[in-house]
Structures are given as structure tokens and as C-alpha cells.
A and B are shown apart, each in its own frame.
Chain A
Amino acid sequence: MWWQVSQSAATVPRSVPRAECSRPVATRAPVGAWVRGHESCEDLSIHGTGAQPTLVIDRMSSARRLADDELRDWAETQGVLFISSVMAELAAERRELATMIEGLGGQAGAV
């Protein structure tokens, strides 16, 4: 089984604990290279195939921007956003944060 190492996705070889398996461990490959999925005992025990692709992790979608109404809907499902600080020193910050959270539809509990 062959897999290509992606530039955008984090494609990471799985390690093979040597205590359980004496097969050679795949080395890290450069972006764009075609690599062969390596075997591992743990994968054998689960899948019974002997071949295992590397982990493909999506990092591009983590920057998804929520619409304001999505954020508001989310905030309304939150019980309390708890503000924790020294009171006197940060009175203005606490007040403005509480106002923002309540304006968003959430509840601010603060001490």
C-alpha cells in the first residue's frame, strides 16, 4: 500500500513499539514522496491485514470562521462563562467581558 506525503495535511508515520514487534519501522519521508505503509503488530491484531497507512491529519479546516449567528447560537447553549481574576485590579476588564458575554447570549459568572 503506497501513500503520498502531503504538504498541507500532516501525514505522520505511526510508530511500532519494539517491545511488541520486531519489524522495521518506517522512516519519515519528505513532502511529495511516495512511501509505503508499514506493518505493525498492533495493526495486525486489529485489522489482520498487515499493511497500515500513515495517519492523515486535516489542518486546513481548523481555521473555519463561524458566522455571528452561529456563534450566538453556540453561546446560548453554554451554561456559564466563568471570569476569574483579582476583583479590584481588573474591575474594568471584568465588567466589559461580562457585558460582551451577555450580549452574545451567554451568561457570565465572575468572582
Chain B
Amino acid sequence: MLFEDFGGRDEGAQEAFLSGVARCDVYLGIVADRYGAMTPTGRSATHEEYREAVRLDKRISVWVRDGGANRQGDARDFIDEVRVFHTTGSFANADDLVRRVWARLVEIAADDLAPWVKLGMVVFRADRVTDRGSQVRVEATVRDPAVAEALVALRSDQWRRAEPVAFTDHTTSRRVRVEGVTATSTARSAQGFVLDLAAETQPTSSSAMRMAVNGLDADDVVERGLRHRLLGEPLPAQLDRMGFLTPAVSLDPVHHLPPEVAGSVAQLLLVEGLVGQGHATRVSVRLGPGRRGPRRVRVEWQPHAWGSPAAPRVIEGNLRDGSSTLT
């Protein structure tokens, strides 16, 4: 349903369209030459909607019309802001836009229907995850021989994999024992896998060492540690020689990955490091494409409310160069 059908936007519509963003699953932004009329916030409605979609962690797809010689300065600035964390698509006309958005929706649907998961040190897409609490079944179609080999190596009858490993999806992480790995050759280039996992702990249980240190509470320690490990900021003096208290998270592996894969892998690594270790109940990661300079990263997490409500924490900055050395 288009707002035009109701006679257009009026002064009272600000709240209405932001609530529309809140209800949506996918935000599609389209930008041509005009920025749009300013709202009382000093930004256009489209710009406000985009920011609301970011704030609410919606899936975002923004399209910019080709050309742009007559594009308003505010519209250019808006596009630059979008490109910090998102790859924008281009289009020539309405038909072209529809065709490209269709293709993008197929990709988004594929992400939904084949979610990325991490089992031990293997990151792959699952066709289906059936979670019964203490028992989890993961079904996957694998085309990469190295990944197939790594999954077969998880069989619990091999002595080196008898110990529990972390199983992580985009929101939860828990320790599991791999009880069964069934591989079926479904095609010359693909193998079907069924992985049966026995959960050792519930997804939100805490296993990390959490401690207040010299005026930093446990969540401050987590934040300072993430700033250090992801953004390259120095650890504060209070944490000198106490870095072991900070979450063991590194995004170095994503440096070599294309944007469409890097964001999903970064999410898994942060969920494993924060949710899996009991530092947070929810994590949201945004990773910029980094095509022109360093990758931008934004991590928001909800600390555990150990006794009292805790406000969400956010860090944002340029992702630390993977080749640099932590001190």
C-alpha cells in the first residue's frame, strides 16, 4: 500500500512512517536527484526512515539512480552515509530497478532460508536448523570439498573431536557435542550433510569470567576489550595484564571476505564471543564494505541484566587492520 493512495504525506505523518519502518522486515530505499523536504529533525523523511531502519537493525537495500549530475548535495551526503555500512545498487529506470530489486530479494531470501552457522571452526550455510533445546539438527548442502572434509572431521568417533565445540547462529551460541555426521552425495558437485548435535548448555548461560576491575564494571571491561580487539584502541591502564578478562573476539578472518559474506561471518564471531561467553543476550553487527578505505564496523549488544537493567552498548569505528599486532 502506497502512501500516495491516502493522499500523500502530511505534517502528522512523521510518526506514521517511522512506525511503518518498525513493522517492516526489509527496508528498500531509493534515491535519485532530490533529497526531499526537511522534517523538523533537519533531515528528509527518507533519511529519517533509513536511520530508523539502521537503529532497528532491519535488512536494508538502497538503490541509487544512475547519473546524478543534478543530484542535490544533501542527497549526495545521504548516499555517502549509506555507503559507510551498505553497498548501494544502481538502476537506470523503473523496469531496471524492479529487476534488480527482485534479484536482491532472492539473495535476502536465500540468507533467510539458508542461514550462516558456525560449528567448531567451520562456517557454512545451513539449509535447515531444527532446535529441540537439548538436541539440534543441522542440515546443509555443501559444495566446497574443504568444508565437507572439515565437517566429516567433526565426527565424534574421531578422538580429536570428542570434546564439545561451539555451535553458533546469528543470535545464539552454545556448546554442543557432535553426535552424528551423515554425509550423502546428492550431486557430483554437492554433498548433503545432517549434523546431530547435543547441547551441553542453554544458549544464554554464562561461561565467561566477568569481573569489575579498578573502577571498570564487568560490562566496561567487555566494551574496552572489544574496542581494543576490533578498533585497535589501547587497553586502559586498569586492564594492564588483565586482558584475559576481555572477550576473546577477533574479526581478522573477515578481512579477506567479500562484503556479502563478511557481515554474516562477523555476526557469528561476535555472537560466539559475546552471547556464547555470557557477556550479552543479543548482538548486532554491521560491517561496511570497505571498498574505499578501512572497513567500518558497528557492534551493538545488550549486556546481561545481572540483577539490574543494563543499557545497550555500542562501539563503532574503523575495523583494525588484520595484519597489525595487538599489544
Task: Identify the interface centre among A46, A51, A86, A87: most chain B CB within 10 Å of its CB.
Answer: A86
Complex Cα spacing A14 to B149, Å = 19
* Least distance between A74 CB and chain B CB atoms (Å): 4
Residues of chain B within 8 A of A11, CB atoms compared: 146
CB–CB A18/B327 < 8 A: yes
A108 to chain B: which residues have CB within 8 Å?
1-2
A109 B32 Cβ-Cβ under 8 A: no
8 A Cβ contacts from A63-98 to B: 64-66, 70-71, 74-75, 78-87, 89-98
Is A104 in the interface zone, CB < 8 Å from B? yes
Contact check, B25 vs A79: say whether CB atoms are below 8 A apart.
yes
Whether B105 and A75, one on each chain, are in contact in the complex, defined by CB atoms closer than 8 angstroms, is yes
Q: Which of B2-57 contact A (CB under 8 A)?
A: 2-4, 8-9, 13, 16-17, 20-21, 23-36, 44-46, 49-50, 53
A29 located at the interface, meaning its Cβ lies under 8 Å from any Cβ of chain B in the complex: no
* Interface size in chain A (residues, C-beta < 8 A): 67
User: Least Cβ distance of A69 to chain B in Å?
Assistant: 11
**Which residues in A have their C-beta under 8 angstroms from that of B110?**
62, 64-66
CB proximity of B266 to chain A, nearest CB, Å? 11
* Residues of chain A contacted by B50 (CB below 8 angstroms): 84
| CA of A82 to CA of B150, assembled, Å | 40
**A53 partner residues in chain B, CB cutoff 8 A:** 120-121, 150
Any chain A CB within 8 A of the CB of B233?
no
B229–A17 touching, CB < 8 Å: yes
Cα distance A64–B143 in the bound complex, in angstroms = 10
User: Are A86 and B35 in contact (CB-based, < 8 A)?
Assistant: yes
A93 engages B144 (CB within 8 Å)? no
* B114 within 8 A of partner (CB): yes
A70 and B53 contact, CB distance less than 8 A: no
The answer to whether residues A57 and B265 also contact, given A75-B105, A79-B24 and a CB cut-off of 8 A, is: yes
The interface bits of chain B over 242-264 (1 if a CB of A lies within 8 angstroms of the residue's CB, else 0) are 01100010101100111011000
Which of B21, B25, B30, B326 contacts A85 (CB under 8 A)? B30
Given A15-B326, A19-B326, are A87 and B121 also a contact pair (CB < 8 Å)?
no
Sample 22 A-B pairs with CB under 8 A, ordered by A number.
A9-B144, A9-B147, A11-B146, A17-B243, A19-B243, A41-B244, A56-B146, A61-B125, A70-B113, A78-B26, A81-B25, A82-B26, A83-B28, A86-B35, A86-B44, A87-B9, A93-B94, A97-B97, A100-B101, A100-B102, A111-B9, A111-B16
Residues of A within 8 A of B (CB): 1, 4, 6, 8-12, 14-15, 17-20, 41-42, 45-49, 51-62, 64-66, 70-71, 74-75, 78-87, 89-98, 100, 104, 107-111
